[in-house]
């Protein structure tokens, strides 16, 4: 298993290199990083523009720029940034943002998975019951909700409640600007800010997962081994949990692991609505600022997440299914 993991990671390296190269070309040719500078009023002196050109290595061929970028990465240098007057440390800034986003993503994934397993299982066991129809409809509804619209709705609803009932929902940012002393109050403050974005993200993620769990449960419930388990005289709960759910979780866990990468898109939208200073804000600000290296750093991180999620999915498969052995 360890050997397999190492081999998989080694195989991922060429993919990552090609991926970064394609991304590098894409970002390089998607626009002029100095366009904002050139249209500035009053116009900056040609010397300033030339300085930026040199700092961003625009005076060098593309391949050389890529080479500089990659070798820089190996030393932990993510390249120069046009933001903050050229002083922004991309690596450091991105890392801070990732930590902020990670809270949201992890909380949402845990809630979404629990919800999906419960709802999907009930739906499958009580197929064509009223509960199944209700769960199916709400599942499809959340599958079809634009995440930003739902987030805005929640946010406005929370504001309305705050104003009329006096609840204390936190609707802006990932933390309050002024927090009382001590770790405890910071933690409480962070959790309070987590509530609404987590609900948004969890509900958008759970929808597809619960549908998947329902169909994989249905397949297992119709299987011969579940019928044999019943024929052995096992209790209903044991048949459902030890035989049906245990086996249905194999594809379910794999699919959710793969989906975590896709959850990134929903996360950055949710963050935008709740004005979190997380990865979403980092990316969108970098794009608007035409900050090539900041965008590259973000995409590199996203690609690593995708590759790692794929690996985790494969490893989980092997852990859960004795028929799969990687040696």
Partner 1 sequence: MSGELVDGVVPPSVSNRANVLEVENLRVDFPTDDGLVRAVRGLSYTLAPREVLGIVGESGSGKSVASLAVMGLLPKNARVSGQVRFGDENLLGLSESALARYRGEHIAMIFQDPMTSLNPVYTVGWQIAEAIRAHRNVSQRAALEKAVELLRLVGIPQAADRVHNYPHEFSGGMRQRAVIACAIANDPDVIIADEPTTALDVTVQAQVLESLRIARERTGAAMILITHDLGVVAGQADRVLVMYAGKPVEVGTADDVFYRPRMPYTLGLLGSLPRLDVGGRRRLTPIQGSPPSLINLPPGCPFAPRCPMRQPICQQEEPELRPTDHPGHLAACHFSDSLVGVAPSDLFRPTARDDVLPEDAGDSAAPEVTA
Partner 2 sequence: MTSRPEEPLDLSSPGAPVQGMSLRQEAPPPSAEYEFTVRARRQWQLVLRRFLQHRLAVASLAVFIAVVLFAFIGGALWHYNYQQFTGDYSAPPSLKHPFGTDAASHDTFAQVLRGTQRSLEIAIFVAIVSTAFGTLYGSVAGFFRGPLDSVMMRVVDLFLTFPLLAVAAILGDQLGPKANGWFWIALVITALTWPYVSRVVRGVTLSLREKEFIEAARALGASNARIIGRHVIPNVMGPVIVTVTILVAAAILTETALSFVGFGVQAPDTSLGLLISQNQTAVETRPWLFYFPGVFIILIALTINFIGDGLRDAFDPTQRRVRA
| Residues near partner 1 (CB under 8 A) | 223-236, 238, 242-243, 246-247, 250, 320-323
| Contact call for residues 321 and 220 (beta carbons, < 8 A) | no
- The C-alpha atoms of residue 229 and residue 244 are separated, in whole angstroms, by 10
Which residue, 59 or 156, has its beta carbon nearer to partner 2? Answer: 156
* Cα distance between residue 271 and residue 268, in whole Å: 5
Nearest to 209 by CA among 148, 123, 274: 123
89 binds partner 2 per the rule CB under 8 A: no
Interacting residue with partner 2 among 24, 27, 121, 202 (CB under 8 A)? 27
**Candidates 43-51, 76-84, 95-103, 141-149; binding stretch for partner 2 (CB under 8 A):** 141-149
The minimum distance between CB 118 and partner 1, in angstroms, equals 21
Segment near partner 2 (CB under 8 A), from 58-66, 67-75, 190-198, 259-267? 259-267
Beta carbon of residue 320, minimum distance to partner 1 (angstroms, whole number) = 7
Q: Which does 19 bind (CB under 5 to 8 A by kind): partner 1, partner 2, none?
A: partner 2
Out of partner 1, partner 2, none, what residue 55 binds, judged by CB under 5 to 8 A for its kind, is none
Binding range to partner 2, per CB under 8 A, among 60-68, 171-179, 192-200, 264-272: 264-272
By CB under 8 A, name the one of 196, 295, 297, 313 that touches partner 2. Answer: 295
- Name which of partner 2, partner 1, none residue 140 binds, using a CB cut-off of 5 to 8 Å depending on partner kind: partner 2
What's the min distance (Å) between Cβ of 139 and partner 1? 22
Residue 152 touches which member of partner 1, partner 2, none, C-beta under 5-8 Å by kind: partner 2
What is the token pair recorded at 115?
A: 């919800």
Given 1, 6, 13, 18, the residue binding partner 2 (CB under 8 A): 18
Nearer to partner 1, 164 or 236 (CB): 236
Minimum CB separation from partner 1 for residue 262, in Å?
Answer: 27
HEC profile of 229-273: HHHCCCCHHHHHHHHHHHHHHHHHHHHHHHHHHHHHHHHHHHHHH
3 state SS for the chain: CHHHHHHHHHHHHHHHHHHHHHHHHHHHHCCCCCHHHHCCCCCCCHHHHHHHHHHCCCCCCHHHHHHHHHHHHHCCCCCCCCHHHHCCCHHHHHHHHHHHHHHHHHHHHHHHHHHHHHHHHHHHHCCCCHHHHHHHHHHHHHHHCCHHHHHHHHHHHHHHHHHHCCCCCCCCCCCCCCCCCCHHHHHHHHHHHHHHHHHHHHHHHHHHHHHHHHHHHHHHHCCHHHHHHHHCCCCHHHHHHHHHHHHHHHHHHHHHHHHHHHHHHHHHHHHHHCCCCCHHHHHHHHHHCCCHHHHHHHHHHHHHHHHHHHHHHHHHHHHHCCCCCCC
Contact flag: residue 199 with partner 2 (CB under 8 A)? no
232 binds partner 2 (CB under 8 A): no
x-marked contacts with partner 2 along 104-133 as a string, rule CB under 8 A: -----------------------x------
Exactly one of 265, 319, 321, 324 binds partner 2 (CB under 8 A); that residue is 265
| Chain residues in the site for partner 2 (CB under 8 A) | 15-16, 18-19, 22-23, 26-27, 30-31, 127, 140-141, 143-149, 152-153, 156, 159-160, 215, 218-220, 222-224, 227, 261-262, 264-265, 268-269, 272-273, 283-284, 287-288, 295, 298-299, 302-303, 306-307
């Amino acid at each position: 298993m360890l050997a397999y993991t190492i081999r998989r990671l080694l195989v991922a390296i060429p993919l990552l290199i090609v991926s970064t190269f394609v991304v590098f070309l894409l970002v390089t040719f998607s626009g002029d990083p100095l366009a904002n500078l050139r249209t500035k009023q009053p116009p900056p002196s040609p010397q300033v523009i030339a300085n930026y050109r040199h700092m961003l290595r625009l005076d060098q061929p593309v391949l050389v720029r890529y080479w500089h970028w990659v070798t820089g990465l190996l030393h932990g240098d993510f390249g120069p940034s046009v933001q903050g007057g050229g002083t922004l440390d991309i690596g450091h800034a991105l890392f801070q943002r990732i930590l902020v986003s990670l809270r949201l993503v992890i909380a949402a994934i845990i809630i979404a998975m629990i919800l999906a397993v419960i709802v999907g299982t009930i739906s499958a066991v009580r197929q064509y019951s009223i509960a199944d129809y209700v769960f199916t409809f709400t599942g499809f509804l959340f599958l079809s909700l634009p995440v930003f619209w739902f987030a805005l709705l929640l946010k406005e609803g929370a504001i309305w409640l705050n104003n009329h009932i006096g609840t204390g929902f936190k609707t802006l940012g990932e933390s309050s600007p002024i927090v009382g002393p001590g770790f405890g109050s910071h933690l409480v403050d962070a959790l309070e800010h987590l509530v609404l974005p987590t609900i948004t993200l969890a509900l958008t993620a759970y929808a597809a997962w619960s549908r998947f769990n329902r169909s994989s449960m249905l397949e297992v419930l119709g299987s011969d081994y579940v019928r044999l388990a019943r024929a052995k005289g096992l209790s209903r709960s044991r048949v459902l949990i030890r035989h049906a759910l245990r086996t249905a979780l194999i594809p379910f866990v794999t699919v959710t692991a793969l989906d975590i990468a896709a959850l990134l898109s929903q996360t950055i939208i949710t963050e935008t609505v709740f004005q979190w200073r997380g990865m979403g804000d980092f990316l969108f600000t970098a794009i608007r600022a035409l900050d090539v290296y900041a965008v590259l750093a973000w995409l590199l991180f996203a690609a690593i997440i995708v590759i790692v999620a794929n690996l985790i999915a494969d490893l989980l498969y092997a852990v859960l299914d004795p028929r799969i052995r990687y040696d």
